[in-house]
A and B are shown apart, each in its own frame.
Chain A
Amino acid sequence: MISFFRVPASGLRAQQLNLDVIANNLANMNTIGFKSSRVDFKDLLYNRVSLVGEFEGSNVEEAPKSVWLGAGVRTASIQKLMDQGAIYENNDQLNMAIDGEGFFPVQLPDGSVGYTRDGSFLLDEHGRMVTQNGQYLLPDMVMPPDAKIFKVTPDGIIYGEVGLEHRILPIGEVQLAKFGNPAGLLAIGGNLYQATPASGAAEVGYPQQGGFGQIVGGSVEMANVNIVNEMTNMMIAQRAYQLNARSLQTIDEMLGLANNLRR
Chain B
Amino acid sequence: MIRGLYSAAANLVAQMVRQEVISTNMANINTVGYKRDVVPLKRSVDVGVPAEFKSLLDGLLVAGPSYGEIGKVGTGVISDPVNTQYDQGELRPSDRPLDLALVGEGFFSLMTSEGNIVYTRAGDFVRSADGLLVSSDGLPVLGYDGQLSISEGNFDVDPDGSIHQNGQLVGRLLVVNFDDTSKIRKVGGNIFAPMDKDTLPNPVIGSIVRQRALELSNVSPADSMVELTSAMRSFEASQRMIQLQDQMLDRAVNEIARL
Residues on A with C-beta less than 8 A from B221 are 239-240, 243
Q: Give which listed residue, A73, A83, A179, A254, contacts B15 with CB less than 8 A.
A: A254
Is the CB–CB distance between A46 and B27 below 8 Å?
no
Return the CB mask of A237-263 against B: 1 if under 8 Å, else 0. Answer: 101100110111011011001101111
Is the CB–CB distance between A254 and B19 below 8 Å?
yes
Check B85 for interface membership: any CB of A closer than 8 A: no
Which of B48-56, B111-119, B120-128 lies on the face that meets chain A? B120-128
Residues of B in contact, count (CB < 8 Å): 66
Check A166 for interface membership: any CB of B closer than 8 A: no
Query: With A41-B28, A70-B24, A247-B23 given, is the CB distance from A51 to B95 under 8 Å?
Result: no
Is the CB–CB distance between B23 and A244 below 8 Å?
yes
Which of A10-18, A25-33, A155-163, A186-194 lies on the face that meets chain B? A10-18
Is the CB–CB distance between A180 and B131 below 8 Å?
yes
In the bound complex, CA of A198 to CA of B246 (Å): 62
Residues on A with C-beta less than 8 A from B23 are 4, 7-8, 11, 72, 244, 247-248, 251
Residues on A with C-beta less than 8 A from B182 are 64
For chain A, which range describes its interface: under 10, 10 to 19, 20 to 34, or 35 or more residues? 35 or more
What's the least CB distance linking A7 to chain B, in Å? 4
In the bound complex, CA of A57 to CA of B67 (Å): 38
Residues on B with C-beta less than 8 A from A71 are 24, 188
Is the CB–CB distance between A70 and B137 below 8 Å?
no
Query: With A71-B24, A179-B129, A243-B221 given, is the CB distance from A46 to B188 under 8 Å?
Result: yes
Check A91 for interface membership: any CB of B closer than 8 A: no
Is the CB–CB distance between A43 and B190 below 8 Å?
yes
Give chain B's interface residues, CB within 8 Å of chain A.
Answer: 10, 12-17, 19-24, 26-32, 34, 37, 39, 44-45, 76, 78-79, 81-82, 95-96, 122, 124, 126-131, 136-137, 152-153, 182-183, 185-190, 195, 221, 224-225, 228-229, 231-232, 235-236, 239, 242-243, 246
Which 9 pairs from chain A and chain B are nearest by CB? A200-B129, A11-B27, A70-B24, A53-B78, A45-B188, A247-B23, A41-B31, A73-B27, A180-B129
12 contacts between A and B (CB under 8 A): A8-B23, A11-B26, A14-B30, A68-B185, A69-B21, A70-B21, A184-B128, A184-B129, A200-B128, A200-B129, A243-B221, A247-B22
